[in-house]
A and B are shown apart, each in its own frame.
Chain A
Amino acid sequence: MIQFQVSPHVLWSLGGLYAVLVVASAWVMMLRWRAPEKDRTELVQRIRSWWLIVSIFTLVIIMSCNVAVAFFAFVSFLALKEYLSIVPTRRADRRVLFWAYLSIPVQYYWVAQAWYGMFIIFIPVYVFLLLPMRMVIIGETKEFLRAAGLLHWGIMTMVFGISHIAYLLVLPEATNPSAGGTGLVLFLVFLTEFNDVAQYLWGKMLGRKKIIPKVSPNKTWEGFLGGMVTTTLLSILLADWLTPMPWTVAIAAGLLISVAGFIGDVTISALKRDIGLKDSGSLLPGHGGILDRIDSLTYTAPLFFHFIYYLYY
């Protein structure tokens, strides 16, 4: 097991995160004071949920590496459960879904062991081959292809994709002595979520030209590009603190997170639109379900991981 110590850089960044939340809360309080008649329940709930998310995240990330890995396993569990609850499934596949859930502890066990080879092939190879076999044993062929495809997409996104965040924690500490794996996780998660908020705010302020109206009518080019610029700037600022990247590489990482975050967001939007839902659940008041919050991470986590893994590990 890799020894785990929280560096001052990580602590300072977490402090910065709380400062952002304090500013956001103060801003909402001011809005309510200036126009008390307007209903701002959703905004208030949303920020309250952010406080909760950030508090749990802080607690988990400073406790120990294993706790943090278990936490991301739990996030995968919630996400897969939400996904399987909103998509059509076959009664005959109940047992298959049970096996699909079991892939979560196994995948995160490879992470906790820092067994990279197994981590990277377990779901794309073994789970991919095993689950259809289990379905064939049950023998229901009606809608077989749809059910198999739907299940694999869910596991790839919610389990394999999200487990990349956890694997950042067990990467060799020596490559990033100032902040370690925790720093990388903080960098990835913070920039991804910041990019979501920035794209939303830029879109609200300047948004005109729709970018992908059929999938997500509220997304605009102005929001997308505004988010891209702010996220990249923040990436340059934070990279020095939290990652081994010099500013030139940090620009690429910022662009990557911004673009990938947008694609992850609209991919989950397309899924929800297909099913006919606005929110994927009600777990996080003001946000919706867990998928509404981690949609961008399903793309940024694996892409940022392989970017930094290729360059430094």
Chain B
Amino acid sequence: MNSFLRFLFYGVFIRLIVLIILGLNVRHRERLPKAGPAIIVANHNSHLDTMVLMSLFPLSLLPKLHPVAAVDYFLTSRLFSWFTLKVIGILPIKRTISRGDDNPLAPCNQALADGQLLIVFPEGSRGEPEQMQSFKGGIARLAESHPTVPVTPVFLHGLGKALPKGESVLVPFFCDVFVGEPLPWTGDRRSYMRQLDERMRQLAAEGNFPAWN
């Protein structure tokens, strides 16, 4: 029942919104992973980011595809939790750790071991529309623990214009999705973060975006 709802949600409803109301300009789609385990890393400006990334993959991968999301935001009420866990299919993790907690990335490690595809937004929150914040280090820890799992960076533009944080009206815009080459594990976390940053900047520089201020 839930998996059917999830199929309906992503396969019909979200695809209609993403492809007709919005419209995507995808570059290098062939670089996306075709099977799990895999990590997709993207910048984050809108709730639509997840929806767009989910719609880039064939529906056959849907059962294995999960956005990693914050417990404190997405698991607030009972009904909302059911929706985010079962329909959106998030993998909840804790944003803040207190003493004595287990490794907050343990659910991700488990999911990757099970061959799942994870969507990660290392900025940690959506922030100001169309401005990229610096990436947080958890992604490097994840890559370190799974050096053979491909980490594919994706740059998104325009979704922060269509539905920014704090807005409820969706305004249609064509959005850009630039997929980068997977980034192999470099051996240490600092150089890995630097390279990931660099790759995101290069992807962003592929576009010629109009002013928005």
Q: Are B172 and A88 in contact (CB under 8 A)?
A: no
The bracket for how many chain B residues form the interface is: 10 to 19
Q: Is A282 in contact with chain B by the CB < 8 A criterion?
A: yes
CA distance A77 to B23 in the complex (A): 11
If the complex has contacts A88-B211, A90-B213, A282-B25, are A81 and B174 also in contact, measured as CB distance less than 8 A? yes
CA distance A88 to B213 in the complex (A): 9
CA distance A84 to B213 in the complex (A): 14
Q: Are A276 and B208 in contact (CB under 8 A)?
A: yes
CA distance A302 to B137 in the complex (A): 57
The bracket for how many chain A residues form the interface is: 20 to 34
Instruction: Report the minimum CB–CB distance from A160 to chain B (whole Å).
Output: 19
Q: Is A5 in contact with chain B by the CB < 8 A criterion?
A: no
Q: Is A281 in contact with chain B by the CB < 8 A criterion?
A: yes
Closest A-chain residue to B23, C-beta based? A81
Q: Are B210 and A89 in contact (CB under 8 A)?
A: yes
Q: Are A86 and B169 in contact (CB under 8 A)?
A: no
CA distance A257 to B88 in the complex (A): 51
Q: Is B206 in contact with chain A by the CB < 8 A criterion?
A: no
Q: Is A47 in contact with chain B by the CB < 8 A criterion?
A: no
Residues of chain A within 8 A (CB-CB) of B129 are: 91
Residues of chain A within 8 A (CB-CB) of B212 are: 88-91
Closest B-chain residue to A278, C-beta based? B208
Q: Are A81 and B172 in contact (CB under 8 A)?
A: yes
Q: B199-213 interface mask toward A, CB cutoff 8 Å, 1 = contact, 0 = none?
A: 000000000101111
Q: A268-281 interface mask toward B, CB cutoff 8 Å, 1 = contact, 0 = none?
A: 00000001110001
Residues of chain B within 8 A (CB-CB) of A85 are: 158, 173-175, 210
Q: Are A98 and B169 in contact (CB under 8 A)?
A: yes
User: Of residues B23, B174, B210, B213, which shows the largest number of chain A Cβ atoms within 10 Å of its Cβ?
Assistant: B174
Interface set, chain A 9-39, CB cutoff 8 A to B: none
CA distance A85 to B157 in the complex (A): 11
If the complex has contacts A86-B210, A90-B213, A275-B210, are A283 and B23 also in contact, measured as CB distance less than 8 A? yes
Residues of chain B within 8 A (CB-CB) of A97 are: 171
Q: Is B146 in contact with chain A by the CB < 8 A criterion?
A: no
CA distance A102 to B208 in the complex (A): 28
Q: Is A101 in contact with chain B by the CB < 8 A criterion?
A: yes
Residues of chain B within 8 A (CB-CB) of A94 are: 161, 164, 167, 169, 171
A-B contact pairs, 11 of them (CB 8 A): A81-B172, A82-B23, A84-B173, A87-B210, A88-B212, A89-B161, A89-B211, A91-B129, A97-B171, A275-B208, A281-B25
Known: A82-B174, A90-B212, A101-B171. 13 other contacts (CB 8 A): A81-B172, A81-B173, A85-B173, A85-B210, A89-B161, A89-B211, A94-B161, A95-B169, A95-B171, A101-B172, A277-B208, A281-B174, A283-B23
Chain A interface (Cβ within 8 Å of chain B)? 77-78, 81-82, 84-91, 94-95, 97-98, 101, 275-277, 281-283
Chain B interface (Cβ within 8 Å of chain A)? 23, 25, 129, 158, 161, 164, 167, 169, 171-175, 208, 210-213
